[in-house]
Amino acid sequence: MDPVEITVPASAEETFTVLADGWLYALWVVGASHIRDVDEGWPAVGTRIHHSVGPWPMTLSDTTKVRDVDEPRMLELEARLWPVGSALIRLELTEIGPHSTRVTMFERAISGPVSLVPGAVQQMALTPRNKESLSRLADLVAGRAREGKAQ
């Protein structure tokens, strides 16, 4: 699967701060519609965000779990949506300047019926969604960075 990437006008630490706030997940992840709970200690390995996906009243409830983390450089998640399956999502942050970070996102289905879909077809479906998710993340990071500099 080819990654999707975007450059945000903030440091890797400022960018990771948004990723580390599980309550913000539905603001930038396309499809996530409601955060029901965030485990204490998020984003430590094994902690979860309990979320709903889809438009009301047809929402499905499930979780996203942290598989690996290297703050502020990487966050690896497993997003579940049963009965469809689950996906592995890896976000890598590379600081490319004092206030500039490249965020690279990889995603692929790893279980359930969707894991049987060929990679090229998964990529056609996921690339537009992931580009929009990263665009939302970039806007959220940029807005929070501006607010922090104004204080």
Q: Read off the pTM.
A: 0.93
Looking at the structure of the chain, the number of domains it has is 1
Which residue range(s) make up the domain with 84? 4-150
Read off the pLDDT of residues 62-118 as tens digits, 9 standing for 90 and up: 999 999 999 999 999 999 987 889 999 999 999 999 899 999 999 999 999 989 999
Q: From 90, 89, 83, select the one nearest 112 (Cα to Cα).
A: 83
- Alpha-carbon distance of 146 to 47, in angstroms, equals 29
Read off the pLDDT of residues 2-52 as tens digits, 9 standing for 90 and up: 899 999 999 999 999 999 999 999 999 998 999 999 999 999 999 999 999
- The CATH number linked to 115 is 3.30.530.20
Q: From 91, 116, 114, select the one nearest 104 (Cα to Cα).
A: 91
Q: Does 149 or 73 have the greater pLDDT score?
A: 73
